[in-house]
Amino acid sequence: MIYFHHIAGAGGRSVIKSFLDYAGDARIFQVFFHEDGNIVMRGKRFHRSPQPRRDAFFACSHAPYYTCEIPPNTFRFTLMRDPITRFGGRYRQHYMALQTGITTNWVGNNILECAQQMPQSVVLRQLAMFSKEFNIEEALGKLRGLNMVGRCETMTESLEALSMQLQLESPLQEFTEQEHSTFYGNPKIVARSRRRVQAEVCEHYAALQEIFEPEYRLMEALGV
């Protein structure tokens, strides 16, 4: 079994699409991710669960490491991303949702307020994924115990490394994330949201660096 510890906002959708494409058809992603998290395609089972079926070829979930029940000898991996960039992407989705009249559970009027007011399990998600107590050493130990830790910023190299380590019959193909206009239906909102987030990150960069300092320390110690 291959198990992907999916950190929200760190490029996981592209990884899942790559494995679905390898098994047959990446177009089934919407069904797998949003509707039926237990599908079989060309004899390969894909299961979205922290307690995956033992006959799964590929499994994944957003669940924290310490809540997962993964069979022994499973190939386990994750993908990480620059902390401010990752959180900025999540904040951008919140902003676009508000622009189209969709209510979210996020609070705050700008990216800094969101980072200050949202739960730490959302803000420091990469750390929280591997330590319930937000302990850097504990998270570092869990991450070093995985078979591989890749980077969203180097997706091509991460997929190449996965293909080689898993000895796949054909290499995983990279899928760039579709523009959010797919979900929100308005390219102007997509462009406006990008400019807004970039401006807010620049304005509040020093304060954001301080908030995300634990994750930067974690990634530096891990060497990714």
Burial 124-140 (b: 16+ CB within 10 A, else e): bbbbbbbbeebebebbb
Highest mean pLDDT among 47-61, 93-107, 184-198: 47-61
CA dihedral 52, 31, 160, 127 (to 10 degrees): -60
Give the separation between CA 78 and CA 25, rounded to whole angstroms.
22
pLDDT at 185: 59
Q: Which ranges in 100-212 belong to alpha helices (H)?
A: 111-117, 120-123, 125-128, 136-144, 155-166, 181-184, 187-203, 205-211
Query: What is the pLDDT at residue 26?
Result: 86
For residue 67, the 8-state DSSP code is G
What per-residue confidence (pLDDT) applies to 189? 81
Q: Provide the whole-model pTM.
A: 0.92
Kindly indicate the confidence band of residue 179, based on its pLDDT and cuts at 50, 70 and 90. very low
The Cα–Cα gap between 16 and 20 comes to 6
Residue with tokens 């676009």: 96
pLDDT at 149: 98
Report the pLDDT value the prediction gives residue 181, as an integer from 0 to 100.
Answer: 45
pLDDT at 219 over 50: yes
List pLDDT tens digits, range 124-166.
Answer: 999 999 999 999 999 999 999 999 999 999 999 999 999 999 9
Q: Is 210 exposed, middle or buried (0-12, 13-18, 19+ CB in 10 A)?
A: exposed
Average pLDDT taken over every residue of the chain:
92
Residue 4 in this model has a pLDDT that exceeds 90: yes
Q: Residue 47: its pLDDT value, please?
A: 97
Place of tokens 């979930």: 61
Model confidence pLDDT, tens digit, residues 73-98: 999 999 999 999 999 999 998 888 88
| Percent of the chain with pLDDT strictly greater than 90 | 75
- Per the CB < 8 A criterion, the answer to whether 9 and 89 are in contact is yes
The answer, yes or no, to whether residue 176 has pLDDT greater than 90, is no
Query: How far apart, in Å, are the Cα atoms of 64 and each of 60, 112, 133, 134?
Result: 11, 25, 12, 12
Question: Measuring CA to CA, how many Å separate 119 from each of 40, 68, 122?
Answer: 36, 21, 5
Kindly tell me if the per-residue pLDDT of 183 is higher than 70.
Answer: no
Residue ranges of domains in the chain, CATH in brackets: 2-222 (3.40.50)
